[in-house]
Structure 1
Amino acid sequence: MSDIAFRGPRIHVAAALVAGGDVVLPEGAARHVGRVLRLKPGDSLVLFDGQGQEACASIAEADRKKVSVHIREVRDGSGESPLSVHLGQAISKGDRMDYAIQKAVELGAAAITPLYTEHGDVRLKGEREAKKLAHWQAVAVSACEQCGRATVPPVHEPQTLEHWLGQRDEPLKLVLHPGTPGVLDRVDAVDRACVLIGPEGGLSLAEVEAASAKGFAALTLGPRILRTETAPVVALTLLQSRFGDM
C-alpha cells in the first residue's frame, strides 16, 4: 500500500470506513468538495473518521445536492504522537482561542479542555457555551484535515480550573509560570502529560498554588511574556521535542 494512493484533499466523515463501500458526504463536506475544491467523479481524496482510520477514496458522484465517495483502501492513520498531552487552556476571546486549539491539534495534543479562570474575561452559559464548544471542535477537525491526523482530539466542555485540576493523573503535570529552569531536563521519559495555560492576565497566585498542590511543576518559557495563544505552541513543541516525535 503506497503513500501515493492516499494523497489528495483530506475530509473528515463521521462514518465507518469500509474498503469497497460508499459514503455520502455530509452537507458541509460535500459543499467544500464540490464548490470549493471543485472535485469531479474519478478525483481522489482521503477520508478519515476521527477515530484513527483513514481511507483512500475517489469521487463516485458529484452534483449540487449530493457527493458520493467510493472507498478503495482503509488503513490506520499515522499522525499520532507517542506522547499524549492534555492541554488545559484558559478561555480567551475570539480568534485567540481558535488559534490555540488549532495549533495544539497540529502539535499533537490528545485532548483540550477550555478553562474558566480567575483572570479570564470570558464566561459562557447554556446555548452560547454549546455553540462555542461545537465551533471549537470544528476547529480541531479542520486542523486534523490540514495536518494529517486521523484521530480528532476531543475538545471537552469548559469547566472550572479547580475541577480540571482534580481530574489530572498524568505522570508529568506542568503549569506555565515562572519557576525553576530546566524542569523538563530532570524528567525521565513519559508517555502522558498535561499542561496548564493561563489567560491573558495570567493565573492568580491562588490558582498557581492550587496547581502546585496537585503536583504541577512550574514551566518557564524564557524571559519574555508570551500571549495566551502563543504559550501552548511553545510548550507543546518543547514536550514533543523532549518526549514525543519531533
Structure 2
Amino acid sequence: MRQFFVREIKDVMVLTGDEAWHAAKVLRLKAGSNIQVVSANGQAAEACIVCADPTEVTVRLLSVIERTSEPPIHITLAQGLAKGDKFDYVVQKAVELGVHTIIPLVTEHCVVKYDAAKKQQKQARWQKIAAEAAKQCHRLSVPVVQDILSFSELWMQERPNYTTLFFYEQEDKLGVKQILQQSMQQSFLLIVGPEGGFSKNEVAGARERGAHVVSLGPRILRTETAATSALAIVMYECGDLGGTLCQE
C-alpha cells in the first residue's frame, strides 16, 4: 500500500503539493484506491481516495493503524562527503535501515567541495531523497538531513548519553561488535569517512573526545558500503533489524 504524509489524521484529509502530484500524476491513483497516511506526529492510518487531482487529493479515513515502524534506538549518521551520487545512495539506504538524523560531513580528505549556494541545493536534494525513502519503506517519520558541517563543528553539537562510534579502516584492535555488546545506550553517533578515509589528526581528535575508534573488519570498504554496514550492524545488535523478537 502506498504511503503519503499529511499534517494530521482526521476523517477527511487533503494531499497537496508533491504528495498530490505523486499520487495522482505519477502513480495515477484513482478514487477508490486505498493508501496509508502518516501524520506529523507519527500516527498512521489507512485511507481511501475520494477525489484525485494533481494539485489536490482528498482522502477519507478508514482506520487507524496501531503499529510502529520506527526503531527503538536513535542513530545519527555523520557521513563524509563523497563523489558522484554516493551520498544520495547513503541517504536512501540509511533511511531504509532506520537512521534518525544524517549529517553531511566535511573532513580533511574530502575531495568534494561546495560553495554556500551548492550546499543549500545539495541539502535540499538529500532531504527530498530522505522523504521519498521514508515513504517507500513506511517510516512513520522523515529523518532530518542537517546542513553540511565541518569536522570541528560536529564536535560542537552536544549529544549527552550517546555512544560515539568512529569507524577507522586502520583500527586493528577494537571491533564495533565488542562495543555494542558492552553498551547499554539507546542513542548512537556513527562517524564514517569519505573515500580517502580520516586523517591521523581526525582520529586523534575523536579519541580525545571520547569516541570509540572501531573497525568494521579486515577488508577496506567503500565509503557507502561502510556507512550502510555500520548502520545495519548497530541496528541488528541494538535495534529491530533482526525482527521484533530481538527486543524481548
Indicate whether the TM-score tops 0.5: yes
User: In 2, distance between residues paired with 1:63 and 1:171?
Assistant: 46
Counterpart in the other structure of 1:176 = 167
* 2:42/2:141 contact within 8 Å kept: yes
CA 1:49–1:94: 2 relative to 1, 3 Å = farther
Q: Does residue 185 of the first structure (1) align with residue 175 of the second (2)?
A: no
Q: Does residue 203 of the first structure (1) align with residue 194 of the second (2)?
A: no
Q: How does 1:140-151 map to 2 (within 5 A)?
A: 140-151=130-141
Q: Does residue 157 of the first structure (1) align with residue 147 of the second (2)?
A: yes
Please report how far the alpha carbon of residue 147 of structure 1 lies from its aligned counterpart in structure 2 after TM superposition.
1.2
Matched AA of 1:201: G
Please report how far the alpha carbon of residue 46 of structure 1 lies from its aligned counterpart in structure 2 after TM superposition.
0.8
Q: Does residue 87 of the first structure (1) align with residue 77 of the second (2)?
A: yes
State the percentage of identical aligned residues. Answer: 36
1:100-159 CA distances to partner (integer Å, 9 max, x unpaired)?
111111111111111111111222233322121111111111111111211111111111
Counterpart in the other structure of 1:16 = 8
* 1:166/1:214 contact within 8 Å kept: no
Counterpart in the other structure of 2:218 = 223
User: In 2, distance between residues paired with 1:202 and 1:42?
Assistant: 52
User: In 2, distance between residues paired with 1:152 and 1:128?
Assistant: 23
Aligned length: 236
* 1:176/1:197 contact within 8 Å kept: yes
* 1:102/1:143 contact within 8 Å kept: yes
User: In 1, distance between residues paired with 2:53 and 2:143?
Assistant: 32
Q: Which runs of 5+ in 1 are unaligned?
A: 1-7
Matched AA of 1:69: V
Counterpart in the other structure of 1:240 = 235
CA 1:149–1:207: 2 relative to 1, 3 Å = same
User: In 2, distance between residues paired with 1:245 and 1:223?
Assistant: 26
Matched AA of 1:176: F
Deviating runs (4+, > 4 A) in structure 1? none
Matched AA of 2:209: K
Please report how far the alpha carbon of residue 92 of structure 1 lies from its aligned counterpart in structure 2 after TM superposition.
1.5
TM-score (norm 2): 0.88
Matched AA of 1:147: C
Matched AA of 2:166: V
SS in 1 for 2:102: strand
User: In 1, distance between residues paired with 2:104 and 2:54?
Assistant: 37
1:46-105 CA distances to partner (integer Å, 9 max, x unpaired)?
112354122211111113543222233345651111111111011113310011111111
* 2:13/2:60 contact within 8 Å kept: yes
Q: Does residue 117 of the first structure (1) align with residue 107 of the second (2)?
A: yes
Q: Which runs of 5+ in 2 are unaligned?
A: 242-248
* 1:77/1:149 contact within 8 Å kept: no
* 1:52/1:77 contact within 8 Å kept: no
* 1:34/1:67 contact within 8 Å kept: yes
TM-score (norm 1): 0.89
CA 1:51–1:120: 2 relative to 1, 3 Å = farther
Q: Does residue 78 of the first structure (1) align with residue 71 of the second (2)?
A: no
Q: How does 1:15-94 map to 2 (within 5 A)?
A: 15-18=7-10, 20-23=11-14, 25-75=15-65, 78-94=68-84
